């Protein structure tokens, strides 16, 4: 696992974006896995300003709330469209987000897995880490071989996302998420984390035992992981990890 610690969020965005740009320039038809949330936003902002051609890139989102239409401002389909695919110039037909409207269920999960397989698998997957150690919406207790599925969100995850909604009662209770087994099949994992609130989870993911109670600990079993952290997120790691 390669760990890069940056002093500022801007430097975090630059360091992570450079890794994405190297991948896309080496392979213009890159299959890119994208994460939503606040941590990767500086990455996408830097990518949007870069002189790079993303027209051949295919992107797959990690997850989506169940029950929110794609037009909803807090849906991840909306985030991906407005923060990633449109600014980077990724073609709409090459942009994929799990379909999570009520009534799709297991068929939507199987369809998403099939779309990833037909695209040739994920070349580079951007990830964040939740305060409870979740990857995508794989909450503590998730099987390491899990595939794309519908999952009930923990109260902690709903509280963490309540700031984006009028109240916690408005936060969806379920999400469709790529599984840990699906994520582990990506050829390169790029983990981007910022903020002191994530420091304990980062420490457990990097230095703790590999356990289902800390889903992000599965990163230790992947052969090609790059982790980009700001100083706050890295504050509980030993000095030997800083590069």
CA dist 83 and 62 (Å) reads 15
Per-residue pLDDT averaged across 87-96, rounded?
96
Q: Residue 153: helix, strand or coil by DSSP?
A: coil
CA dist 243 and 241 (Å) reads 6
* Cα-to-chain-centroid distance, residue 4: 18
Question: What pLDDT, on a 0 to 100 scale, did the predictor assign at position 101?
Answer: 63
Contact 17, 230 (CB under 8 A): no
Query: CB-based contacts of 36: which residues, under 8 Å, 6+ apart?
Result: 61, 62, 63, 76, 79, 80, 83
How far CA 14 is from CA of 43, 57, 202, 213, 242, in Å, comes to 7, 20, 20, 32, 17
CA dist 187 and 197 (Å) reads 28
Q: Which two tokens stand for residue 47?
A: 């990518």
Helix axes 9-26 and 41-49, enclosed angle (nearest 10) = 60
Q: Taking the model in full, what pTM does it have? A: 0.92
Instruction: List, for residues 156-210, the tens digit of each pLDDT value.
Output: 888 888 888 888 888 888 889 999 999 999 999 999 999 999 999 999 999 999 9
94 noted as active-site residue = no
139 noted as active-site residue = yes
Ranking 9-23, 30-44, 95-109, 167-181 by mean pLDDT, the lowest is 95-109
- The catalytically annotated residue of 64, 123, 139, 230 is 139
- The catalytically annotated residue of 46, 63, 64, 188 is 63
Q: Which two tokens stand for residue 72?
A: 């909803």
Per-residue pLDDT averaged across 85-98, rounded?
96
Ranking 45-54, 85-94, 150-159, 209-218 by mean pLDDT, the lowest is 150-159
Provide the residue ranges of all domains of the chain, joining segments of one domain with +: 2-236
Q: Which two tokens stand for residue 48?
A: 């949007």
- The catalytically annotated residue of 46, 134, 188, 241 is 134
Ranking 29-38, 70-79, 184-193, 195-204 by mean pLDDT, the lowest is 70-79
113 noted as active-site residue = no
63 noted as active-site residue = yes
Per-residue pLDDT averaged across 13-42, rounded?
95
Ranking 67-71, 84-88, 209-213 by mean pLDDT, the lowest is 67-71
- Averaged pLDDT score across all residues of the chain: 92
CA dist 31 and 54 (Å) reads 10
Out of 3.40.50.720, 3.40.50.1360, 1.10.530.10, 1.20.140.10, the CATH code matching 2-236 is: 3.40.50.1360
Residue 243: pLDDT band with limits 50, 70, 90: very low
Q: How many residues does the chain have?
A: 243
CA dist 231 and 108 (Å) reads 39
């Amino acid at each position: 696992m390669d760990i890069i610690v940056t002093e500022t969020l801007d430097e975090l965005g630059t360091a992570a974006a450079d890794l994405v740009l190297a991948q896309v320039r080496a392979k213009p038809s890159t299959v890119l896995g994208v994460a939503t949330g606040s941590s990767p936003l500086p990455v996408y902002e830097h990518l949007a300003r870069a002189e790079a051609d993303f027209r051949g890139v295919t992107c797959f989102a990690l997850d989506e709330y169940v029950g929110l239409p794609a037009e909803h401002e807090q849906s991840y389909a909306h985030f991906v469209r407005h923060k990633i695919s449109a600014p980077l110039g990724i073609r709409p037909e090459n942009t994929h987000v799990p379909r999570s409207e009520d009534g799709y269920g297991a068929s939507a999960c199987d369809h998403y897995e099939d779309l990833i397989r037909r695209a040739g698998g994920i070349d580079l997957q951007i990830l964040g880490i939740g305060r409870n150690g979740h990857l995508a919406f794989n909450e503590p207790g998730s099987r390491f071989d899990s595939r794309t599925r519908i999952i009930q969100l923990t109260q902690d995850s709903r509280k963490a996302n309540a700031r984006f909604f009028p109240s916690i009662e408005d936060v969806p209770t379920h999400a469709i998420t790529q599984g840990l087994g699906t994520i582990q099949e990506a050829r390169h994992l790029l983990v981007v984390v910022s903020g002191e609130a994530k420091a304990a989870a980062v420490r457990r993911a990097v230095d703790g035992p590999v356990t289902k109670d800390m889903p992000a600990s599965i990163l230790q079993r992947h052969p090609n992981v790059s982790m980009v952290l700001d100083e706050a997120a890295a504050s509980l790691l030993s000095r030997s990890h800083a590069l």
